[in-house]
Amino acid sequence: MTPCSADGGKMRLDYSSHNSTASRSSSLADSRIHGRRSRKELPVVCQLPFEPAQCRILSPKKFYTSFLTAYLRGAHLWLFLSHRRHLLLLKVGPIDPPLRLPMACPRGLSRRALPCLLQVGRLFRGEPREAAASSCRRRTHSSSSPQKQLETKSETVHQKQICQIVLDHFEKQYSKELGEAWNSVRKVLTAPQCWQYGVLLNKFSFSSKVENDLRLKGYHLLFPETSSCFHQSFKCYISSTPGRFPAQRHRAGKLKEYYLLNVASLLAVLALEIKNGEKVLDLCAAPGGKSIATLHCAWPGLLHSNEYDHLRAQWLRETLESFIPESLMHIVTLSQLDGREMGDLKPETFDKVLVDAPCSNDRSWLFSSDIQQATLQLAQRKALSAVQLQLLRSAIKALRPGGSLVYSTCTLSKGENSDVITEILNSCSDVLPGDMGALANVASQEFVLASGVQQHELLVLPEKGRAWGPMYISKLKKI
């Protein structure tokens, strides 16, 4: 089948051999493109780097929706140009999750949309997501100063639209689970302009200039260097004011000097209390921030970073290659295994295990642009706890007796947090709750911690001026 062909500078789509689902979609596409709204086809405006297909954009003069069909690796992909001011890649093949991209104007592709479309092409050719994204940024902001890039990034964040269905769901659930604390948390989660980002310095490559720049901009160390609870090689700078330090582009053969992150995620790594020479498993490792932090806390004998999802695994690989020198890569093992099977494949192998489990990411879900997808996610939310339990049981099998396990999520949901841990403690006779009292005492200097949690738990609540989290962390020990 030839998915599309050009004739006289115009495009013709062939839907003759699509499957039933694709056929229904193609009929809709055909009616929208060739129907009453616009029968006229303009010249081709862009060719995407998909192979083996020759894929082109069809751009009617007036439209609500235009469609791009690509035939790639046996999958049919649809790209919607939406009047809601963004492009949405909808999965009709093995692509997950959908990618939201900037809008394309009715007269053709906007200057911002074109590099993002090329980014999609790079992803499907197998290039890591971060490389594709950095290339997109180079095309979009190549002539901009770091300050201008930061302003553009902030402007994009501020333009996010809250998904009312998700907010209503959260309102109903979290007002019961958190009580009055939900009011202040809600204000931060629904206001991206309040969000803050920490800067984790790469001890393998950062320069004093970066550290000086951070101090001049009002950043300070996350924890005092005198804290006995933390390793001195761990340097993370934070600011009390909202904003984001300019990100660094990926440069082949050159390490990045810092990593931007929500610093609440570092507490999960610190809770492990990693010692030199220990074998550490990061079970759900992408995008790689916690694996990087692990190597900054100690010199493990082995760091096994695992990510099951194919695209996220590529992202993880590039992240580690961007921050870890070649001379240290021999202690790092990358794998793409189903985390639920790790315990059977590597029984009693690791001294420390981190399970940063897939969860209903509250920050992300609140700004879902696809209402249907958001509704489906909420309906399937309860099923997440079953996956989390499977991952935890597998991690416990992979943990040696006497070892420690840390479980973390970035949601406030009790059903994905303390309820999961309670089920594990009740059903696993070889597991005991750990003690995070010392970490909680030090963390309370910079984070807002929920009250009423158990000694083996921390729940970080975002608050204006300290907009870190949400992040749930629990520590277990195997006997």
Active site residues: 410
Closest CA to 178 of 408, 394, 470, 468: 470
290 CB-near residues (< 8 Å, 6+ apart): 265, 266, 268, 269, 282, 354, 356
CB 339 within 8 A of CB 283: yes
CB atoms within 10 A of CB 266: 25
- Of the CA atoms within 13 Å of residue 92, those in its CB half-sphere come to 22
Q: What is the SS3 assignment for 71?
A: strand
CB 165 within 8 A of CB 375: yes
Please give the Cα distance from 238 to 198 (Å, whole number): 5
How is residue 108 written in tokens? 């053709």
CB 269 within 8 A of CB 355: no
How is residue 119 written in tokens? 């980014």
Q: Residue 432: enclosing H or E segment and its boundaries?
A: strand 431-433
Q: Residue 24: enclosing H or E segment and its boundaries?
A: helix 20-34
Dump strand ranges (E) for 285-359.
302-306, 332-335, 350-356
Please give the Cα distance from 376 to 241 (Å, whole number): 36
Closest CA to 343 of 305, 409, 400: 400
Please give the Cα distance from 433 to 452 (Å, whole number): 16
Residue with tokens 């950043």: 219
How is residue 326 written in tokens? 């070649």
Residue with tokens 């440069």: 251
Distances 51 to 55, 236, 315 between C-alpha atoms, Å: 9, 43, 22
Report DSSP state, residue 76. E
Helix-helix angle 129-141:113-124, to 10 degrees: 160
Q: Render 263-288 in DSSP notation, one character per residue.
A: GGGHHHHHHH---TT-EEEETT-TT-
37 CB-near residues (< 8 Å, 6+ apart): 60, 62, 63, 64
